[in-house]
Structure 1
Amino acid sequence: MSISEQLTQEINEILEAKWTTVDAHDVPEAEKVALGNQAKKIEATVLYADLADSTDLVDGYKDWFAAEVYKTYLNLACRLIRANGGEITAFDGDRVMAVFTGSNKNSSATKTGLQINYAVRNILNPALKTKYPSTAYQVEQAVGIDTGSLFIAKTGIRGSNDLVWVGRAANYAAKLCSLREDGYATYITEDVYKKLNESSKYGGDTDKKDMWEKHMWSDMGIAVYRSNWWWTPA
């Protein structure tokens, strides 16, 4: 069978096969999702943490320096995701995707975003300045968060495959990372904002202030919320 014939056969098999779905409460392990048209459905909150201007970083600095920035940023993001109960589900170059489940999924994801902002501003950038005092480079990044239903299927071929996360939450969270306007580093949808507990919505030592500012996402024509606050990790 030629490769063209094989592709035709496999595409038709995928298109003709009926989907079977199972409701899930936790993030499924890849081994427990079959490669055929079988999927898990879950209510979850998706977080994307994305390093800004990575093309300029790679083009304008030594490869080893860019690698150090990638490694340190993704390391701190992953540590904070795990510390707040999130499951790391994918890496895509300079960004990481995580999924939060459970009754506090929106507040936990949002807390993570604010903690990533703290760690970049107050730990990573000062460390880079100390190590490389002559460089003007400073890490800029953004976190996007949305919540909703996810349809989780396995894609690829036998021996080389991964899970694909289909749903608005994954799509919007990834797109929100590209906003990064006026120093705002954390963006959440209105659905997330409405479900936040008080500690993830209000900040300040004495007078509690809303940490989130309503903002029109012009590309999508919807209101979202953005924040330039940070949350010190315990």
Structure 2
Amino acid sequence: MSADRPDIRFPLKLKLVVFGGLLAVLPALAVGLGLMEVNASTLETQNREMRLAVAEDIAETIEAAIADARDSLLGVQQVLTNPAIPQDNRVEVATALVEADPLIETVAIYDQQGDYIAQIDQTGDGFTLEPLAKQVAQRAGSEPMLVDNLQVGDDGEATVEMVIAIRPKPSEITGFLRTVVPLDVAQKRTERVGTHQLSARSRIDVVDSERRVILSTAPDLRGQTLPAVGLMESLDTIVAQGVAHSGDHPERPVLVSALPLQTVPWVTRVEVPMDEAYASLIRMRWIVGLGTTGAAAIAFILALVFAGRLTRPLDAVVAFTKRLGERAFDARVDVDTRDEIALVAATLNDAAADLKASEEQIAREIEIRADLGRYLPEDLVDNVVRREQAMALGGERRKITVLFADVVRFTPLCEHHEPEVVVTVLNELFTLMTTVIFRTGGTVDKFIGDCVMAFWGAPREDAEQVLHALEAAEKIHRVLEFANRRWSREFGVEVKLAMGVHVGEAVVGNVGSETRMEYTAIGKAVNLAARLEALAHDNQVLVTEDVQRTAADQFVFRRASTELLTVGGEDATVYEVLL
């Protein structure tokens, strides 16, 4: 506590005890008996929380779908802005990522003015060749992502379009990416929640800023526009405030809760019939009503005396908190009541100063993350910025899953092709592999010539690390098939990879010197994965029995027709993953 904060001479608790004691004698008797019989407050809170929990469930499902689509577009953006890939080849490299992605099927690419450039279309029903609307381009350039153009088909399935700006640098926009995001998973989740958690008379709707129904448990409402009554009348306010609202419907006996989504201007709306929600509330109202009627008369007289002095400083504090909500962190409030209200005011003043410093710190961290993200895994960047990453040399023993991927017959490739061709192919190959590894939660340890070493389980804990490593190997194999078609056509080059995967303990941490270090893994688990990769043939993924046993339910394996590995003096069985 700072030295200039006021002393508490007349505690607010004492004031409230004196004031509350005068009010509570008669009301407490009547209200207490009523609350013992019927706890209406608890009933009301539980019902409201239930509605908001349902709304939050649906909102999280929608936002997860939008976040996944945005991540996919960001992956395409990374390829399109990667200087290591020739500009004429970036669209085809990006096509490989889209074909390997299960969520998005069509991506249109526009230049800085919004003119159409190219389209990656797996459906045959892609976008027209028209330029991007100027209003859409302007909004996409000023927002992290733009979700717009809601469409509800004849079958009731809803889709939205997502547009993001291509930003090689935070302050530079070189074009735009546009895709269609299906909401069928969210609709199924809405129907499932409505069936299992609510009654048949209840209803769940998801509406956009124009009150159009995107998702609903009532099939005939999808695509319709709800009337501007009740909470729907203040839809813009709910979206702008970003907080949940609850109330009753002015035309029907139902209780309604509305929860805005964080990433798009949509609202999840849940309504429950009032007679179901408050079946026991009528009796409680009679009891509380009779008790509070007498208490209200006494409380009103006393409130006139105390309310003025008590509410004036509170009004000042409330006004100040509103200014803080408007991010006016330079403002201050002056309260000299010598009680807890003055203490709250002083604390808020300190909080305003801290918030201003925090905003400046966050801005610096964003710049640092953007720079470090080019060299380090995302988890390490976050830990370094938060000063949570140990920077001393050394490490800790962790269970990790290691993957080695090596270009087969790389030396003949170098001997029969120009160095520029080899470098171009390797850069594109490493870009594709790195993108897949990061998307599956892995860490790229290092590039060793034509070989990539990656691991899962550090620095971030990963309970599904074996499955994620095999998923990365499978996606790399699929992406490589597409990339080889272009390399063969343009350079006469076909790349084949040999991969080895093993799970085990290793020491993970900083290795090097005090002036230059790298985050890496060392141990028998790493050596064994490297030996598996050395035994693998063209486009073959070899794993140990530990990996096979862990992922036997999700992947197909067979005993590899290769010599056995020797681990600790004993032969180890080798399996091949059938991709």
In the superposition, the TM-score normalised over structure 1's length comes to: 0.72
8 Å contact from structure 1 (residues 184, 226) kept in 2: no
1:192 to 2:566 alignment: no
Question: What is aligned with 1:124?
Answer: 483
Q: Where do residues 130-149 of structure 1 align in structure 2 (5 Å cutoff)? A: 130-132=489-491, 135=492, 137-149=493-505
CA–CA distance in 1 between the matches of 2:507 and 2:497?
A: 28
1:224 to 2:563 alignment: no
Question: What is aligned with 2:276?
Answer: none
From 464, 476, 481, the counterpart of 1:104: 464
- Gaps of at least 5 residues in structure 1 are 1-26, 202-210, 230-234
Q: CA deviation at 1:156?
A: 2.6
Aligned residues: 187
Change in CA separation of 1:175 and 1:128 when aligned onto 2, cut-off 3 Å: same
Question: What is aligned with 2:515?
Answer: 159
Question: What is aligned with 2:413?
Answer: 57
From 442, 446, 457, the counterpart of 1:86: 442
8 Å contact from structure 2 (residues 445, 520) kept in 1: no
1:178 to 2:530 alignment: no
8 Å contact from structure 2 (residues 477, 539) kept in 1: no
CA–CA distance in 2 between the matches of 1:99 and 1:196?
A: 16
8 Å contact from structure 1 (residues 76, 119) kept in 2: yes
Q: Where do residues 29-44 of structure 1 align in structure 2 (5 Å cutoff)? A: 32-35=390-393, 38-44=394-400
| Superposed CA offset, 1:96-141 (max 9, x none) | 11111211111110111111111112x1101112323xx2x31011
Change in CA separation of 1:217 and 1:191 when aligned onto 2, cut-off 3 Å: farther
| Superposed CA offset, 1:139-158 (max 9, x none) | 01112110111112433322
CA–CA distance in 2 between the matches of 1:110 and 1:41?
A: 22
Change in CA separation of 1:93 and 1:184 when aligned onto 2, cut-off 3 Å: closer
Higher relative contact order (CA 8 A, sep 6+): 1
Counterpart amino acid of residue 227 in structure 1? V
Change in CA separation of 1:58 and 1:164 when aligned onto 2, cut-off 3 Å: same
CA–CA distance in 1 between the matches of 2:391 and 2:524?
A: 21
Change in CA separation of 1:172 and 1:192 when aligned onto 2, cut-off 3 Å: same
8 Å contact from structure 2 (residues 397, 508) kept in 1: yes
8 Å contact from structure 1 (residues 147, 169) kept in 2: yes
Q: CA deviation at 1:228?
A: 4.5
Question: What is aligned with 2:184?
Answer: none
| Superposed CA offset, 1:74-97 (max 9, x none) | 111111111111111222111211
Larger gyration radius, structure 1 or structure 2:
2
- Gaps of at least 5 residues in structure 2 are 1-378
Identity within the alignment, %: 22
CA–CA distance in 1 between the matches of 2:523 and 2:564?
A: 21
Change in CA separation of 1:90 and 1:41 when aligned onto 2, cut-off 3 Å: same
Counterpart amino acid of residue 73 in structure 1? L
3-state SS in 1 of match to 2:475: helix
| Superposed CA offset, 1:180-227 (max 9, x none) | 33x45211111011111623x1xxxxxxxxx21112543533211113
| Superposed CA offset, 1:50-75 (max 9, x none) | 11222112222100111012112111
Question: What is aligned with 1:213?
Answer: 558
From 157, 161, 169, the counterpart of 2:525: 169
8 Å contact from structure 2 (residues 433, 476) kept in 1: yes
Greater share of residues in helix: 2
Greater share of residues in strand: 1
CA–CA distance in 1 between the matches of 2:559 and 2:480?
A: 24
